[in-house]
């Protein structure tokens, strides 16, 4: 019999809230965090809406009790990871072998971009402290030091599936008796480089995104961080607050179709979802809710929808995309949506797919449009699909 991997704690910060409680309130209230750019300086500030965390870097640093000179990526990560550990009730690691597996795609680019504004005008100007933590792994190491984790620290960067991969990699390390506790998830902050890159691909919506709508026009970028604390059965038994959720299934697959698009038949998403089901020992009809990858682009929603049709027809679970609240947070999305999946199980809730007006006509199902409570949510499937065909699915189950 395989050992259970328990979710002992959760932490989140995004455009809809500074912590899990605030995020849940926004989800209950159907209050999206998308709006006009206020922090990010961009030539597109009046045309492309984004989902920014409503805090300046100095405010985030004060909340995290950290240096204001750190990248926004590191600061967001610190806040969500510390909340997850506090939620788990783990104050000291003691005898537990502990790891920190964090995902991101932007690293310290927010600071680097500011550095080059001055440096390109005069090569004698600019603060080098703004570039020394540019690469993705640096943010992870800074946060691990703040948390006091040193047994195992690594960074995963597989585009938008990054933090989902971080979570199930952590589960594998525990299951193979290499670690006892893993703080796993991901973070990303908004940067001009990212915004301009996605705009070049012509997949950004100039209005608020409408995932799984027939008339969808693209995604809105967002920022944030989301982490779960994974623990072994032995650690779970020692905690004052007993975990009520397990990570029961996970799978990563790749359709190897295109650098930035999924295969038209949805092979990658189908392989990821069916592989996670096989790992969990569950059947499709056991899934009560699917947290969609649901970006709002033509390609993503069509291919993910076809994969869901192929896997679940004729009995479809409730589905929705919480990116309609948070925007697409890239490397953080799998971590944030893992937190939302745990909340769905913990509170018996299903989130609305905001702004859905006309369901995709070629699909035999539609996303939920209202927040619902008192739902029998025992198993949640969460999808995260990234560039290069890197597709990952996680299944969370009630204990």
pLDDT band (50, 70, 90) for residue 129: confident
CA distances from 371 to 28, 188, 368, 394 (A): 6, 27, 8, 22
Instruction: Assess whether 229 and 340 both reside in one domain.
Output: no
The verdict on residue 160 lying in a domain is yes
pLDDT over threshold 80, residue 235: yes
Instruction: Determine, yes or no, domain membership for 1.
Output: no
Mean pLDDT of 187-213: 97
Res. 260: pLDDT tops 80 = no
Per the CB < 8 A criterion, the answer to whether 360 and 301 are in contact is yes
Do 86 and 31 share a domain, yes or no? yes
Residue 135: DSSP 8-state: S
Domain that holds residue 112: 6-238
For residue 343, is it within any domain? yes
Note whether residue 283 is domain-resident.
yes
The CATH code of the domain that includes 373 is: 3.40.47.10
> Is 182 in contact with 174 (CB distance < 8 Å)?
yes
| Nearest C-alpha neighbor of 83 from the set 226, 241, 270 | 226
Using only C-alpha atoms, the chain has a radius of gyration, in whole angstroms, of 20
- Tell me which of 133, 134, 293, 379 is the catalytic residue: 293
Residues composing the chain: 399
Question: Same domain, yes or no, for 40 and 140?
Answer: yes
Residues 36 and 156 in one domain: yes
Whether residue 305 is contained in a domain is answered as yes
Element (H, E) at 85: helix 72-88
Q: Is 44 noted as a catalytic residue in this protein?
A: no
Alpha-carbon gap, residue 49 to 219, rounded angstroms: 9
C-alpha separations of 344 from 206, 208, 335, 352 in Å = 30, 24, 14, 12
Res. 342: pLDDT tops 60: yes
pLDDT of residue 89: 96
Q: Answer yes or no: is 182 within a domain.
A: yes
- Quote the pLDDT of residue 114: 86
Give the residue from 207, 238, 269 where a domain finishes.
Answer: 238
| Chain mean pLDDT for the chain | 95
What share of the chain in percent tops pLDDT 70?
Answer: 100
Q: Is 279 domain-assigned? A: yes
Query: Are 54 and 33 found together in one domain?
Result: yes
Catalytic residue among 133, 134, 136, 328: 328
pLDDT at 117: 82
- Is 293 catalytic? The answer is yes
pLDDT score for 240? 94
Look at residue 262 and tell me whether its pLDDT is greater than 70.
yes
Structure tokens belonging to residue 359: 């369901």
Q: Supply the pLDDT for residue 91.
A: 84
- Which of 209, 238, 267 is the last residue in one of the domains? 238
pLDDT at 234 over 80: yes
302 and 211 belong to one structural domain: no
pLDDT of 259 above 80? no
Mean pLDDT of 317-329: 98
Q: What is the pLDDT of residue 213?
A: 98
Q: What mean pLDDT comes out for the span 320-348?
A: 98
- For residue 252, CA distances in Å to 182, 227, 239, 319 come to 19, 19, 30, 20
User: Is it the case that residue 153 has pLDDT exceeding 70?
Assistant: yes
Residue 346 neighbours by CB distance under 10 Å: 16
Statement to judge: residues 250 and 234 lie in one domain: no
Residue 328 catalytic? yes
Q: Of 182, 205, 238, at which residue does a domain stop?
A: 238
Does 170 map to a domain?
yes
Largest Cα–Cα separation, the chain: 66
| Average pLDDT value for residue range 230-247 | 96
pLDDT-derived band of residue 343, with 50, 70 and 90 as boundaries?
Answer: very high
Residues 40, 182 within the same domain:
yes
Please tell me whether residues 214 and 289 are part of one structural domain: no
Same domain, 202 and 302: no
Q: Please, are residues 14 and 53 in contact by the beta-carbon 8 Å criterion?
A: yes
Q: Is residue 66 classed exposed, middle or buried when 0-12, 13-18 and 19+ CB atoms within 10 A define those classes? A: middle
The domain total for the chain is: 2
Q: How confident is the model at residue 317 (pLDDT cuts 50, 70, 90)?
A: very high
The rounded distance, in Å, linking the Cα atoms of 379 and 310 is: 19
Which of 160, 209, 245, 251 does the annotation list as catalytic?
Answer: 160
Range of weakest confidence among 39-48, 250-259, 304-313: 250-259
Claim to verify: residue 115 and residue 146 sit in the same structural domain: yes
**Banded model confidence at residue 94, pLDDT cuts 50, 70, 90:** confident
| Residues 110 and 134 grouped into a single domain | yes
Task: Show Cβ contacts of residue 200 under 8 Å, excluding neighbours closer than 6 positions.
Answer: none
């Amino acid at each position: 019999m395989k050992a259970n991997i328990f979710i002992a704690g959760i932490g989140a910060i995004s455009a809809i809230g500074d912590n899990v409680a605030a995020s849940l309130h926004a989800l209950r209230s159907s209050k999206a965090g998308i709006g006009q750019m206020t922090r990010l300086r961009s030539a597109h500030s009046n045309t492309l809406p984004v989902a920014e965390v409503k805090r300046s870097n100095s405010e985030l640093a004060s909340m995290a009790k950290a240096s204001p000179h750190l990248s926004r990526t590191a600061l967001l990560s610190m806040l969500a990871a510390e909340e997850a550990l506090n939620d788990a009730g783990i104050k000291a690691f003691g005898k537990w072998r502990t790891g920190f597996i964090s995902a991101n795609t932007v690293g310290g680019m927010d600071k680097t971009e500011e550095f080059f504004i001055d440096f390109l005008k005069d090569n004698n100007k600019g603060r080098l402290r703004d570039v020394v933590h540019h690469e993705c792994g640096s943010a992870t190491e800074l946060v691990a030091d703040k948390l006091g984790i040193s047994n195992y620290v690594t960074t995963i960067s597989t585009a938008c599936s990054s933090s989902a991969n971080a979570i199930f990699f952590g589960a594998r390390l525990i299951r193979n008796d290499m670690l006892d506790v893993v703080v796993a998830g991901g973070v990303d902050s908004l940067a001009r480089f990212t915004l301009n890159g996605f705009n070049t691909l012509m997949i950004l919506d100039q209005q608020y995104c409408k995932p799984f709508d027939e008339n969808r026009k693209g995604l809105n970028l967002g920022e944030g961080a989301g982490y779960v604390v994974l623990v072994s059965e032995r650690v779970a038994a020692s905690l004052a607050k007993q975990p009520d959720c397990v990570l029961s299934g996970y799978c990563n697959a790749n359709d190897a179709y295109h650098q930035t698009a999924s295969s038209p038949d949805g092979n990658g998403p189908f392989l990821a979802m069916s592989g996670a089901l096989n790992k969990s020992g569950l059947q499709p009809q056991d899934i009560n809710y699917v947290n969609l990858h649901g970006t709002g682009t033509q390609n993503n929603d069509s291919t993910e929808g076809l994969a869901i049709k192929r896997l679940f027809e004729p009995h479809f679970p409730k589905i929705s995309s919480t990116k309609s609240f948070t925007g697409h947070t890239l490397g953080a999305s799998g971590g944030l949506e893992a937190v939302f999946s745990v909340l769905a199980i913990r509170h018996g809730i299903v989130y609305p797919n905001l702004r859905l007006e006309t369901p995709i006509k070629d699909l035999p199902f539609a996303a939920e449009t209202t927040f619902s409570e008192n739902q029998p949510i025992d198993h949640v499937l969460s999808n995260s699909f990234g560039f290069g065909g890197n597709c990952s699915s996680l299944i969370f189950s009630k204990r």
